[in-house]
Amino acid sequence: MNLPLSDYDFAFPEELIASVPAEPRDSARLMVIDRKTGAWRHKIFRDLPEFLVDGDCVVVNRTKVFACRLSGKKSTGGKAELLLVKELEPGRWAALASGFKKGHALNFPGGMSAIVEGLNSDGEYLLRFGSTDVMGYLERHGLAPLPPYILKKKGATDANDIARYQTVYAREQGSIAAPTAGLHFTPALLEALKKKGVVIAEITLHVGRGTFRPIESEDAAKHPMLPEWYSVSADQAALIKNAKRVVSVGTTSTRTLETLAALPAGFGPGEGWTVLYIHPGRPFKIVGALITNFHLPKSTPLLLASAFLGREKLLAAYQEAFKQRYRLYSYGDAMLVI
């Protein structure tokens, strides 16, 4: 199947990019879309229980974002801004950055230093830090890994971003970006769902560079996904398998569920690395409803949402969202496709 990348490009009002989250979390707007007809309704996220029924299972990603962005200086005097994406061995990391050269010495607040060893085949810089306890350092000095389009509008992160760029049910540290569809949930909303007979199941997919790496191939179907680690325990898999309808919160939960559903034995517990790329033309085996945010053009989350709803219906809904001044992207509003 050929998927021209240009079919998933569109102009959007940049002033609608949300630079701060909704407060309270569940006051974000919610566009509810009928999967069959493409018809929409405009609601508030706290209205979610109206659209779910006894026996539904809402699947959330309990991954926790770590403060993996660093701001320091090169020994030559220039700024050193980088995003750590994976630990290769104690004290040695791969990072996203620009303008570094092999041999550059980098210095960060609190006495941490690093040497640039070069680039790997994925275009990531290899860094050797002066300490093997980089995670401990990040807990004290790391910054929230907000997307560039938010940083561009905000100018800088603040203390609230560390807590707010995190779901209320985050438990397992390992993500370099938030599973943003889950940012709208509050403890009270989760309780309201449970009282209605909705089951909440927790899975884990650590969001890595694969989720947000831009599609560069003109045939979008040829885009290679980078591996991301997932885990679903036996008790949570049983909740999901016994549900009347599976309501997936976000593209990361969806990819995890569909990865396990594609196994020869069928859906069940498991853990490992997924490179599943969901794009139009791929059927969904287990997900029956989707909660997701509004996504960037030409992105893998956009193609996943297109696969679930249909490209024309999704892009029509986006145009309606622009018209109604929905807030966009990571800190923005949400949609429920049922």
287-305 pLDDT tens trace: 999 999 999 999 999 999 9
So what's the pLDDT on residue 160?
82
So what's the pLDDT on residue 262?
96
How far apart (Å, rounded) are the C-alpha atoms in residues 162 and 159?
Answer: 6
- The highest-level CATH class for domain 5-65+161-337 is alpha beta
Q: Phi then psi for 63, rounded to 5 degrees?
A: -60, 150
So what's the pLDDT on residue 1?
76
Supply the CATH classification number for the domain 69-142: 2.40.10.240
So what's the pLDDT on residue 77?
87
CB-based contacts of 42: which residues, under 8 Å, 6+ apart? 29, 30, 31, 32, 324
Positions in the chain short of pLDDT 50 = none
Domain with CATH 3.40.1780.10 in the chain: 5-65+161-337
So what's the pLDDT on residue 148?
87
Domain with CATH 2.40.10.240 in the chain: 69-142
So what's the pLDDT on residue 76?
86
How far apart (Å, rounded) are the C-alpha atoms in residues 248 and 307?
Answer: 14
